[in-house]
């Protein structure tokens, strides 16, 4: 954060200057640089397309028996879906999770067993560690995982909010996820939501989106 000492010629500066925000702080003029995150939406889209393309090829390599298992599994789902779509959906969740326990599966579970939505969800900012913290009370089982998706909300402009991106996937027994806030300016509001997933790639519905502001 740049600092400018006021003088007889410069006593106050406020507003946007060269990609930053000038403001007064304890009698000093400060200039905060805007945080410019990477284009995560484009990266996510490219990665998703790659995963789907690879999985489509893997589907072609399944045996007839394996495909029949997916078709039977899809028939038991509450939504209208083909075996191919169920295979793509579940494995996309697994591959996108970036967790060593969650790997591609060639066969589905014997019947749908979608995990319950996380409950007791809280989302706060901790000024001592300069981190955001997501906590939950359930699920709390070794075979279930919790994913945290976050989205930085525009601070000093009316620009559209950024898309949600995966911050972490952890075993649900950890009951919390920390997110580093050091790369964001004071006043940054971060949105967050959770979902639970299992080793079959089945995912719960999303929790309510919560917001927390960096001090």
Distance CA(205)–CA(119), nearest Å, equals 11
- Tell me the CATH architecture of domain 122-213: Sandwich (2.60)
**What are the residue ranges spanned by the domains of the chain?**
2-33, 40-96, 122-213
Residue range 80-105, pLDDT digits in tens: 999 999 999 999 999 999 999 999 99
DSSP assignment string, 131-193 = EEEEE-SB---TTEEEEEEEEEEPSSS-PPPPPPEEEEEEEGGG-EEEEE-TTS-TT-EEEEE
Distance CA(99)–CA(96), nearest Å, equals 8
Residue range 162-212, pLDDT digits in tens: 789 999 999 999 999 999 999 999 999 999 999 999 999 999 999 999 999
pTM for this structure? 0.76
């Amino acid at each position: 954060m740049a600092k400018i000492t006021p003088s007889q010629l410069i006593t106050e500066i406020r507003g946007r200057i060269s990609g930053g925000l000038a403001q007064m702080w304890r009698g000093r003029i400060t200039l905060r640089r805007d945080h410019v995150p990477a284009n995560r939406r484009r990266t996510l889209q490219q990665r998703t397309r790659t995963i789907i393309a690879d999985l489509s090829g893997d589907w072609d390599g399944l045996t007839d028996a394996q495909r029949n298992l997916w078709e039977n599994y899809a028939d038991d789902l509450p939504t209208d879906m083909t075996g191919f779509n169920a295979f793509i959906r579940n494995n996309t969740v697994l591959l996108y999770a970036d967790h060593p326990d969650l790997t591609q599966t060639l066969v589905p579970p014997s019947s749908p067993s979608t995990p319950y939505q996380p409950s007791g969800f809280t989302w706060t900012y901790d000024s001592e560690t300069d981190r955001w913290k997501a906590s939950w009370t359930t699920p709390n089982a070794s075979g279930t995982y919790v994913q945290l998706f976050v989205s930085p909300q525009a601070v000093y402009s009316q620009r559209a909010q950024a898309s949600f991106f995966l911050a972490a996937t952890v075993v649900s027994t950890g009951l919390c996820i920390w997110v580093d806030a050091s790369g964001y300016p004071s006043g940054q509001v971060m949105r967050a939501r959770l979902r639970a997933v299992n080793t079959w790639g089945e995912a719960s519905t999303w929790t309510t989106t919560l917001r927390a502001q960096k001090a």
